[in-house]
Structure 1
Amino acid sequence: MNLTTKDLHLGYGKQSIVKGVNITIPEQKIVALLGPNGCGKSTLLKGLARILEPESGTVFWNGQEIHSVSSRELAQQLALLPQAQEPPEGVTVRNVVGYGRSPYTGFWGQLATDDKTMVEQAMQATGVTELADTLITDLSGGQRQRVWLAMTLAQDTDYILLDEPTTYLDLNHQVELMKLMRRLNQQGKTLITVLHDINQACRYCDYLIVMKDGQVVTQGEPEKILTAELLQSVFELDAEIHRDPIAGTPMCVVRD
């Protein structure tokens, strides 16, 4: 499977956000979208997920214009965890996670044995099994975030797009999420995620796409593209690049 863009422009109303982006997402990798606030990371992710219609340019899915792919077919191949969702009233965690199976069953379809197995596995992977019978409206922000992730995993797609997935998560659950992403990648899945933590991205992601002012500044493996000059020009950070003593990956250390 292949996800690419050609001269992609995206925006909201008359405001243009993403400007002429050309990227090819490397398959079976963990890809991080990085850049300062307002640079177009989340907007680009929405374009890749077909949430936003391009102002111009194209998103291609397996060589086919993505907006020509049927919704059911695309939902069985590509899943999106958005930045924020409104929790439904009166619905338990297990039922919410079960919505992830709707591309296969229909939104109100009955879950077969295989579907229920996927739901249970997704809840276990995200650590929400003990909350299965709890109303989602009774959960904390961090707990809800893990439930939304479980719903996305239950969709069982080859591509998973995550928009700031560490939002609301404490440090422990952030680390668990990144480790889960790595396990999913080892199962052959491609993950594309918007992140703010540069060191987290370098430690857990295989490929970085760095943006500024709606355009891609550079892209590639962390080892090859992360430099002090890049941190200064994109993030306005006066920092040095060192080796993470545990992971051996590049690490950004800000000067006093």
Structure 2
Amino acid sequence: MLSTENLSIGYHGQVIVKDVSFTVPHGKITALLGPNGCGKSTLLKALSRTIKPVSGHVYWQQKDVQNIAHKEYARLLAMLPQVQPIPEGLTTFDLIAYGRSPHNGFWGRLSQKDRAVIDQVMAASGVTELADKRVSELSGGQRQRVWLAMTLAQETPYILLDEPTTYMDLNHQVELLGNLRRLNHEGKTIVTVLHDINQAARYCDYLLVMHNGELVAQGTPAEVINQKLLKEVFAVNAQIFPDPVANTPMCVVDD
């Protein structure tokens, strides 16, 4: 459903992502991998229509997304950016409620269904006990979980996440990635930027690897992860072993 064709993206006349073409596997979890500055977040912004392409296209069901009404696209695809502002005065519940705006209008009154969805995503994100707390008073990890809950409240078939494990300690990272797998089993298609290659290999079905603004590899973790790629893209010497739990590729960096 979601694809790109010869997509180039940039800022202020400088091209960051160059001539990228791929199709997001429907019904799967896809990870965008690559070193800092390679264009992962920029590519995600183009998929979400936050920025316009310099050239090329992003398609939803073979229709250029630039020709889809904003509210309609917001019902199809939700995006959690890497950096979010800290809203002053808003409670956790109020912020998550904004996720329902594509369904009821930005200033629309919450219906019984809206409130049920909000309660459900708060429980799934582990923030129910934070409902009445101001977002500005939360820790970085708590805020990240609240923003994720707001994204889930949009109830879109596709979800884009830019480094969703940022600010989270290890147990909450594992919990979040497990929740993404659960959402995927419930029918969501997910595209996420991750930095941890082993986490991506364990929890994701498909990998897109970026380097210097170009898409250099794509496929399943077993097809993509190898010593040559790790050396050329990430500048590390590593051995590849089967993960003893998931039996997915696991990278161990050499000294």
TM-score range for the pair, normalised by the shorter chain length: over 0.9
User: Which AA in structure 2 matches 1:46?
Assistant: K
**2:227 aligned with 1:228:** yes
**2:56 aligned with 1:57:** yes
In the other structure, the counterpart of 1:243 is 242
Instruction: Report the count of equivalent residues.
Output: 255
In the other structure, the counterpart of 2:130 is 131
In the other structure, the counterpart of 2:145 is 146
User: Partners of 1:223 and 1:155 in 2: how far apart?
Assistant: 33
**2:12 aligned with 1:13:** yes
Tell me the C-alpha RMSD between the 2 structures.
0.5
User: Partners of 1:99 and 1:172 in 2: how far apart?
Assistant: 28
User: Which AA in structure 2 matches 1:155?
Assistant: Q
User: Partners of 1:72 and 1:160 in 2: how far apart?
Assistant: 15
Q: Unpaired runs of 5+ in structure 2?
A: none
In the other structure, the counterpart of 2:161 is 162
In the other structure, the counterpart of 2:193 is 194
Q: Deviations over 1:81-116 (max 9, x none)?
A: 001111221111001000000001111111100010
In the other structure, the counterpart of 1:71 is 70
In the other structure, the counterpart of 1:33 is 32
User: Which AA in structure 2 matches 1:45?
Assistant: L
User: Which AA in structure 2 matches 1:64?
Assistant: K
Secondary structure at the counterpart of residue 23 of structure 1: strand
Alpha-carbon shift at residue 224 of structure 1 (Å) = 1.2
Alpha-carbon shift at residue 14 of structure 1 (Å) = 1.6
In the other structure, the counterpart of 2:204 is 205
User: Partners of 2:35 and 2:94 in 1: how far apart?
Assistant: 36
Secondary structure at the counterpart of residue 159 of structure 2: strand
In the other structure, the counterpart of 1:91 is 90
Q: Deviations over 1:165-218 (max 9, x none)?
A: 000111010000000000000011100000000000000000000010000001
Q: What TM-score do the two structures reach when normalised by structure 1?
A: 0.99
Runs of 4 or more above 3 Å deviation = none
User: Partners of 2:178 and 2:239 in 1: how far apart?
Assistant: 26
In the other structure, the counterpart of 1:107 is 106
User: Partners of 1:207 and 1:12 in 2: how far apart?
Assistant: 28
User: Partners of 2:239 and 2:144 in 1: how far apart?
Assistant: 33
User: Which AA in structure 2 matches 1:138?
Assistant: E
User: Which AA in structure 2 matches 1:197?
Assistant: D
Secondary structure at the counterpart of residue 36 of structure 2: coil
Secondary structure at the counterpart of residue 143 of structure 2: helix
Secondary structure at the counterpart of residue 76 of structure 1: helix
User: Which AA in structure 1 matches 2:195?
Assistant: H
Secondary structure at the counterpart of residue 166 of structure 2: coil
User: Partners of 1:108 and 1:138 in 2: how far apart?
Assistant: 24
Q: Deviations over 1:117-156 (max 9, x none)?
A: 0000000000000000000011011100000000001111
In the other structure, the counterpart of 2:213 is 214
Secondary structure at the counterpart of residue 108 of structure 1: coil
Secondary structure at the counterpart of residue 89 of structure 2: coil
User: Partners of 1:89 and 1:109 in 2: how far apart?
Assistant: 21
User: Which AA in structure 2 matches 1:26?
Assistant: P
Q: Deviations over 1:24-61 (max 9, x none)?
A: 00000000000011000000000000001000000001
In the other structure, the counterpart of 2:22 is 23
User: Partners of 1:231 and 1:102 in 2: how far apart?
Assistant: 42
